[in-house]
Structure 1
Amino acid sequence: MTTAPAPRAASLSLTSVWNRTVQWVTGTKHAVRSMSALRILFGIAILWLLLTSAADRHYLWGAGSVWVDPAVDRRGYPDILRVFFPKDDAALFDLSYATLVALTTFFIVGIGTRVVTPLLLVFWVALSTNSVYLTNGGDVVIRLVLLFCVFADLSQHWSVDAWLRRMRGPVAARRSPARMPPWLGTVAHNTVVVLCAYQVILVYVNSGILKLMGSEWREGSALYYAFHLDVFRVFPALSDLAGAVVPFVVVGSWVSVVAQIAFPVLLLWRPTRYAALVVLMGMHLSIGLLLGLWPFSLAMIALDLVFIRDRSWDRAWRTVTRRPFLHHGAEQVP
């Protein structure tokens, strides 16, 4: 009776896992389409908040919000951040606000993304620290993930940067000076993808556990109360209609808890992963539509997209472009 091969098999298995992990991290950039979509959705979420709050900006973050300074001081934010949005200089505040709007617009369309991303992070954090009572889950997630994204490639697709690279061609790309080894940029990008995935899992599991601790979620009545909170009733008639459908309220409450707590397990199998993403994205769309929390909803949907592989994006695009109605017009051309 021999047992010697067992340790060797285990060693080979660990070696194989290690090699595959190293290859995944250093071989090629992953989720480049998802990270490009994340750039757009994050930018829209930030711009949404800036534009809808523009008329009240001084009351929310400027001179009219001086009363929140004691709470801001207790948070211990660096004083340098207050240089960008001073509360005693309305003209400079407005200039910084306009700069933030411009940076967000550049971020959405993907112009100079490598430079714009860290600048957007600094200005966005500086504005957010002026009033600690206006933040919510979406703001926190955006600030944290933007820090990760400084080291990611966000402009491979759907950006002006990508269009300029195509116009210049491969020859110009080869002539451009290499500022860092290619593998280093790949490792940094893939590390950001992993951090974003971890952040999503952390948010969902913690949220699911906290919901499970509330009797309303266990009883299936939580959504009813959410639909009847006056501060979140963007469309009162629609909220009343949704809250009146008892099966929707009960099943929706339970499904949201189960999908969030079981999210790490559901990711392991492709069909359950896509089912969980559909459920959670639908939940966030409902939050945006019925509760008006669109910045939070867009931020979480953008992070959900990280779990969609580039091959899945390509396969979906090929499926859509093969639809008969897309080619109907071309067949009419003589």
Structure 2
Amino acid sequence: MSGAGSALKRGVDRATGSALGPYQSAIVRIGFALTWLLFLVREFPHRHALYGPDGPWDWGMARDLVADNGAFTMLLWSDGRLWFEAVYGLAVLSSALLLLGWRTRTMSVLFMVGVLSLLNRSIFVGDGGDNVIHLVAIYLVLTRCGQVWSLDARRARRRAAALARGERPAHDRVGPVLWGALGIALCAVTFSGKAGWGWLLVFWGLWVVQGLWWLADRKGPEDPDRRLFDVLANVVHNTGLLIIMAEACLIYATAGWYKVQGSRWQDGTAAYYPLHLDYFSPWPALSDLMTQSGTFIMLVTYGTVIVQVAFPFTLFNRKVKNVLLAVMIIEHSVIAVTLGLPFFSLAMIAADAVFLPTSFLRRLGRAAGRAGRAVLGRAARLGVPGAGRALGAAAPDLPAGPAPVPGPRPGTAGDGPQPGATDRGAPATGDGVPPRVTSPG
């Protein structure tokens, strides 16, 4: 076989044989779920003015707009306050559960529903970060974002350990109940005529896929139908991860090239002006200090343009990419403080995290695990109720890699079993996991 043919075969094997980037997809899940959850909690006192019946963009105006663009939002199914509170509560709850990685496959769909329902209700509310959350919430549905750092992964490890000991794992009752409840809800929405047929087909398709995975799981991992589902799920996950990467590159490329065309960016003074707008000056003294030096403003202005334009091209060199990635994360952290845009910055950092190297993410996970166990140990010594039990439950979860697990039940994490893999496509065997394993997410 020629060199080109061998390379093509290796590429196809990577795309179909494993779910790549388990740590990257997990950090994106955690980052966006945390960002959206913090935003919803922060704006809870103002929720009626932002997305509810007290907002300047009233229910009738939103209904007319959605009738033209076909956007999805549950908030236009009723103009009652109780319905609004229920949808807002669903958005908060799904964000928290997705952050924890509980039934990630189902929670990613409900997370998307909550994001679309609120953001499409009032499209003029936001600071740019809402657009990123809006897009990534859709892409997360395609990914296996619960392979690591999730309650689903912990449950999968315990199930695999029980099988290794020759024990029969406890039957999962939550998954089928959740799957059935969502099916009943979809039936109610379908017959009510509230949602468009396009979105109904999407939701029914996702619901049916969960049921098919349950049937395939009963046949065993070597069944041809099950193996076909494995391949399809790998392709969907890897495509979704690639789309998130492409979206991040597109954001930076378009932002950078638009800045190049602006006269203030060309003369090196653009960074001065937002620091002296009242809306973007939470710390006026800090803004004044930063703008005292014309040289500093010029370096920040030109540096921002260079980093944004150059970043997509640095993906071909890992070391340069990591340097620019660190620069952009620092830049967004500074923007969060100096311009008062914390949620925009958190959303962009979460999007940037998809490019973080696996070795760094694994070290980060181990450090977070040690810190968590230290906090639980301290709480247990102080006599906090439940801390000792939580510390004992965390002990078996020291391995950070994807765990072997049979395919998911309906409504559980994952579209199906996937081989664990690192971002280089190699089996994640560093934690004692055999090369051919399956993992949730």
TM-score bucket (shorter structure): 0.7 to 0.9
> Is 1:12 the counterpart of 2:2 in the alignment?
yes
- 1 CA distance for matches of 2:71 and 2:349? 33
- 1 CA distance for matches of 2:82 and 2:318? 53
1:70 to 61, 70, 73: 61
Corresponding residue for residue 327 of structure 2: 279
Corresponding residue for residue 143 of structure 1: 134
Q: Displacement of 1:257 after TM fit?
A: 0.5
Q: Displacement of 1:198 after TM fit?
A: 0.5
Partner deviation per Cα, 1:23-65 (whole Å, 9 max, x = no partner): 2212322221121111111012111221121111111111122
Corresponding residue for residue 96 of structure 1: 87
1:240 to 264, 288, 292: 288
- Asked whether the equivalents of residues 221 and 253 of structure 1 are also in contact (C-alpha less than 8 Å), the reply is yes
More divergent stretch after superposition (175-184 vs 26-35):
175-184
- Asked whether the equivalents of residues 27 and 354 of structure 2 are also in contact (C-alpha less than 8 Å), the reply is no
Corresponding residue for residue 132 of structure 1: 123
- 1 CA distance for matches of 2:38 and 2:327? 24
- Asked whether the equivalents of residues 30 and 309 of structure 1 are also in contact (C-alpha less than 8 Å), the reply is no
Q: In structure 2, do the counterparts of structure 1 residues 242 and 154 end up closer, same or farther at CA, with 3 Å as the change threshold? A: same
Q: Displacement of 1:22 after TM fit?
A: 0.9
- 1 CA distance for matches of 2:284 and 2:3? 58
- Asked whether the equivalents of residues 40 and 107 of structure 1 are also in contact (C-alpha less than 8 Å), the reply is yes
1:299 to 347, 350, 353: 347
What is the DSSP-based 3-state SS (H/G/I as helix, E as strand, rest coil) of the residue aligned with 2:149? coil
Q: Displacement of 1:101 after TM fit?
A: 0.9
Corresponding residue for residue 224 of structure 1: 272
Corresponding residue for residue 6 of structure 1: none
What is the DSSP-based 3-state SS (H/G/I as helix, E as strand, rest coil) of the residue aligned with 1:155? coil
Q: In structure 2, do the counterparts of structure 1 residues 255 and 206 end up closer, same or farther at CA, with 3 Å as the change threshold? A: same
Partner deviation per Cα, 1:73-114 (whole Å, 9 max, x = no partner): 33535486244674x311221122122111111111111111
Q: In structure 2, do the counterparts of structure 1 residues 79 and 318 end up closer, same or farther at CA, with 3 Å as the change threshold? A: closer
Q: Displacement of 1:316 after TM fit?
A: 6.9
1:253 to 301, 309, 316: 301
- 2 CA distance for matches of 1:84 and 1:218? 45
Q: In structure 2, do the counterparts of structure 1 residues 318 and 57 end up closer, same or farther at CA, with 3 Å as the change threshold? A: closer
Q: In structure 2, do the counterparts of structure 1 residues 293 and 82 end up closer, same or farther at CA, with 3 Å as the change threshold? A: same
- Asked whether the equivalents of residues 75 and 118 of structure 2 are also in contact (C-alpha less than 8 Å), the reply is no
Corresponding residue for residue 235 of structure 2: 187
Corresponding residue for residue 34 of structure 1: 24
TM-score by length of 1: 0.84
- 1 CA distance for matches of 2:362 and 2:51? 43
Corresponding residue for residue 52 of structure 1: 42
Corresponding residue for residue 309 of structure 1: 357
Q: What letter is aligned with 2:9?
A: N
2:73 to 81, 104, 111: 81
What is the DSSP-based 3-state SS (H/G/I as helix, E as strand, rest coil) of the residue aligned with 1:313? helix
Partner deviation per Cα, 1:251-277 (whole Å, 9 max, x = no partner): 111111011111122111111111110
Corresponding residue for residue 427 of structure 2: none
> Is 1:159 the counterpart of 2:207 in the alignment?
no
- Asked whether the equivalents of residues 71 and 120 of structure 2 are also in contact (C-alpha less than 8 Å), the reply is no
- Asked whether the equivalents of residues 77 and 129 of structure 1 are also in contact (C-alpha less than 8 Å), the reply is no
Partner deviation per Cα, 1:187-217 (whole Å, 9 max, x = no partner): 2111111101100111111000111111111
Q: What letter is aligned with 1:18?
A: L
Q: What letter is aligned with 1:55?
A: P
What is the DSSP-based 3-state SS (H/G/I as helix, E as strand, rest coil) of the residue aligned with 2:144? coil
- Asked whether the equivalents of residues 133 and 347 of structure 2 are also in contact (C-alpha less than 8 Å), the reply is yes
- 1 CA distance for matches of 2:72 and 2:275? 41
- 1 CA distance for matches of 2:116 and 2:127? 13
Q: In structure 2, do the counterparts of structure 1 residues 55 and 318 end up closer, same or farther at CA, with 3 Å as the change threshold? A: closer
Corresponding residue for residue 24 of structure 1: 14
- 1 CA distance for matches of 2:62 and 2:321? 41
TM-score by length of 2: 0.64
Q: Displacement of 1:283 after TM fit?
A: 1.4
The structure richer in helix per residue is 1
- Asked whether the equivalents of residues 72 and 120 of structure 2 are also in contact (C-alpha less than 8 Å), the reply is no
Q: What letter is aligned with 1:222?
A: A
Q: What letter is aligned with 2:46?
A: D
Q: Displacement of 1:284 after TM fit?
A: 1.1
Q: What letter is aligned with 2:73?
A: L
More divergent stretch after superposition (155-164 vs 180-189):
180-189
- 2 CA distance for matches of 1:257 and 1:142? 23
Q: In structure 2, do the counterparts of structure 1 residues 319 and 46 end up closer, same or farther at CA, with 3 Å as the change threshold? A: closer
What is the DSSP-based 3-state SS (H/G/I as helix, E as strand, rest coil) of the residue aligned with 1:65? coil
Aligned length: 310
Q: In structure 2, do the counterparts of structure 1 residues 43 and 316 end up closer, same or farther at CA, with 3 Å as the change threshold? A: closer
> Is 1:200 the counterpart of 2:191 in the alignment?
no
Corresponding residue for residue 266 of structure 1: 314
- Asked whether the equivalents of residues 85 and 96 of structure 1 are also in contact (C-alpha less than 8 Å), the reply is no
- Asked whether the equivalents of residues 148 and 195 of structure 1 are also in contact (C-alpha less than 8 Å), the reply is yes
